[in-house]
Structure 1
Amino acid sequence: MIFSFSLNHLMTRPVDLANEALLPSQANTVAPPPTLTNAAPLLARYDVIFCDIWGVVHNGLTAFEGACSALTKFRGNGGTVILVSNAPVPKQRVAETLETRNVPTSAWDDIVSSGDIALAHVNERRFERLYCIGPQDRDAALFQALTARSVPLTEAEAIICSGLNFDRSEVPDDYRPLLQQALQHNLPFVCANPDFVVDVGGTLLYCAGAIADLYAQMGGPVFWAGKPHLNAYETAHAKAEALRDRNVAREKILVIGDSLRTDMKGAENFGCDALFIASGIHRHETMDEISLSPKRLQELFVPGSPPAIGAMAELAW
């Protein structure tokens, strides 16, 4: 496995969380995406950017100035930037977090969050009683926005999950008994963050997607709110067209992200080009200290991986 801590609790099959369908032994047989040092010539080809946040725009603690500057300049040249995040909270909460990370509002036009997609799904299904999984303090904005009541599992119509209740001390398999009980009643599982792991200051922590994946393996029905699923980019596309007041062809959209499983795969699913940022979630696999390693990049982009039109250590104009 790629990550330093054990993933045996999560799955019974051998899986690379960064690129689920592929095994590391398949490496070194395809050319990696070309390495870029400046994004300006590439960005000039596009009208719209769908940009990941964590790992591209900030590192969970502070903004990446070069990335924010590049997005600001792209907008200054007439481009539109939609931030697409698997954050399990409404976009207003994402915007507030960006402010605390010193990400300027000049770097983006609008935000698509997995939290909003999950809330819309709950409303569409007209769920009135939900069993909630996730940190009630950190993700309070999601749970407070629910019109459904929080109830014990035995009374629930569905589960909504924003993450592990205690992601620094729990693993997904700790939820197996609860999921077994939910499976007996075929309860739908609304995953408000499809990420399996997140990098928090150099520590990789499990996310809601890891629990959802376990439930799906057990045979449970899961609604995935966010990347790499189409609902994230369909929502972003609609926002971009509304902002630009015209149709936006998919070949004029560039996805920028740091995850093969979510960003690169999401771009492939939606039919857009993608730019890979290597210093995010995959940095231990792709970076030699501060430099991007072409050899390591090739080992990451194994046969069958979602493609990228280019790769950068960090987004820079």
Structure 2
Amino acid sequence: MSIAPLTTLAGLAARYDAFFVDQFGVLRDDERAYPGANAALLHLKALGKTTVILSNSGRSGDYNAERLVGLGFDHAGFDRFLTSGDVAHDILARETAGKAGGTRCLTISSGGDRNLSDRLGFESVEDAELADIVIISGSEAETIPLSAYRARLEPAARRGVPCYCTNPDRHKLAKGAGTAPGAGSIALEYQNLGGPVRWFGKPHPAIYQHAQALLKHVAADRIVCVGDSIEHDIAGAAGAGLAACLVRTGILADRPEDDLASISAEYGVRPDFLLERFAT
């Protein structure tokens, strides 16, 4: 028995005025756009819908939007791109106003990204023994084992250095095929070492509050969240009191219905709808 009724993009558009759409696993994988995804975004805009791309990315929404455009997406297909990195920056900038100077930050990321640390005015360091703050925004666990991340972070965790995880995803789509541990898995290693972790992004509420603040006069019951992760997208939508649609691409694409039911039971949530793929 299906965990939720199967729907279509047209069916969702008939019921909802605003769409919070996940990036990885819904619109694209780690390397390319999914067929039909760009056309689907443009179709929603042609219907007068508001679309916010909501992504657990430690990098900014502007950076991610440019990456989407580079993959062939039309910027006219979405109104805003909001990331967990954006939310972390907004919150931490307020909290550290006037206090960031001299703060030494170790960033764990992919591709050498230190965008959040730089924007907050922190001094970047590589040695966990010297860090006052740890930011975990990305993962290169395709090539770096979790044990190596654990060993590198242990000196900071032992001293109780606060860690900000700006991408809670425990798994990510890997280059080529399959999955690899995500930034969330590295942050869990830090937490298991005894270090304090503060989480930003789905399923945590702040990103939904920020996204809803971008909408003008759209009631909560007219918003639907579209994602490929029960743990993050569906649970996050449920926690925010919003409808949720699980897309059968991305992180759970190869999992049978029985597995989806088990995962839903584990997190105590169920999607309102299932969508085979994000396309018209």
Q: TM-score w.r.t. structure 2 length?
A: 0.88
Kindly indicate whether the alpha-carbon contact (under 8 Å) linking 1:136 and 1:143 is maintained by their aligned counterparts in 2: no
| Counterparts in 2 of 1:169 and 1:136: CA distance versus 1, 3 Å | closer
Structure 1 equivalent of residue 154 of structure 2: 180
Deviation at 1:54, TM superposition (A): 0.9
* Deviation sequence 1:178-210 (CA, Å, 0-9, x none): 443223321110112111111133131222111
Structure 1: stretches of 5+ with no match in the other structure = 1-29, 287-293
Trace 1:6-155 onto structure 2 (pairs within 5 A).
Answer: 31-36=2-7, 38-126=8-96, 127=100, 128-137=103-112, 139-151=113-125, 152-155=127-130
Kindly indicate whether the alpha-carbon contact (under 8 Å) linking 1:260 and 1:305 is maintained by their aligned counterparts in 2: no
Kindly indicate whether the alpha-carbon contact (under 8 Å) linking 2:158 and 2:194 is maintained by their aligned counterparts in 1: no
For residues 32 and 261 of structure 2, what CA distance do their matches in structure 1 show? Answer: 29
Trace 1:211-290 onto structure 2 (pairs within 5 A).
Answer: 211-241=186-216, 246=217, 248-286=218-256
The worse-fitting range, judged by mean Cα deviation, of 52-61 and 167-176 is 167-176
Say whether residues 1:312 and 2:275 are aligned partners: yes
Figure out how many residues of one structure are paired with residues of the other and give that number. Answer: 273
For residues 209 and 305 of structure 1, what CA distance do their matches in structure 2 show? Answer: 20
Match of 1:167 among 129, 141, 144: 141
Deviation at 1:177, TM superposition (A): 3.2
Deviation at 1:144, TM superposition (A): 4.2
Deviation at 1:136, TM superposition (A): 4.6
Q: TM-score w.r.t. structure 1 length?
A: 0.79
Deviation at 1:296, TM superposition (A): 5.8
* Deviation sequence 1:204-259 (CA, Å, 0-9, x none): 12221111112223332211121111111111111123xxxx3x221111000000
Kindly indicate whether the alpha-carbon contact (under 8 Å) linking 2:223 and 2:243 is maintained by their aligned counterparts in 1: yes
Report percent identity of matched pairs. 30
| Counterparts in 2 of 1:295 and 1:50: CA distance versus 1, 3 Å | same
Q: Which amino acid aligns with 1:210?
A: S
For residues 177 and 297 of structure 1, what CA distance do their matches in structure 2 show? Answer: 34
For residues 184 and 258 of structure 1, what CA distance do their matches in structure 2 show? Answer: 35
For residues 136 and 300 of structure 1, what CA distance do their matches in structure 2 show? Answer: 31
* Deviation sequence 1:17-68 (CA, Å, 0-9, x none): xxxxxxxxxxxxx7511123x2212222111111001111112322234233
Q: Which amino acid aligns with 2:186?
A: I
For residues 202 and 11 of structure 2, what CA distance do their matches in structure 1 show? Answer: 27
Secondary structure of the residue aligned to 1:106 is helix
Secondary structure of the residue aligned to 2:208 is helix
For residues 121 and 256 of structure 1, what CA distance do their matches in structure 2 show? Answer: 25
Kindly indicate whether the alpha-carbon contact (under 8 Å) linking 1:46 and 1:252 is maintained by their aligned counterparts in 2: yes
Deviation at 1:161, TM superposition (A): 1.4
Secondary structure of the residue aligned to 1:154 is coil
Kindly indicate whether the alpha-carbon contact (under 8 Å) linking 2:163 and 2:195 is maintained by their aligned counterparts in 1: yes
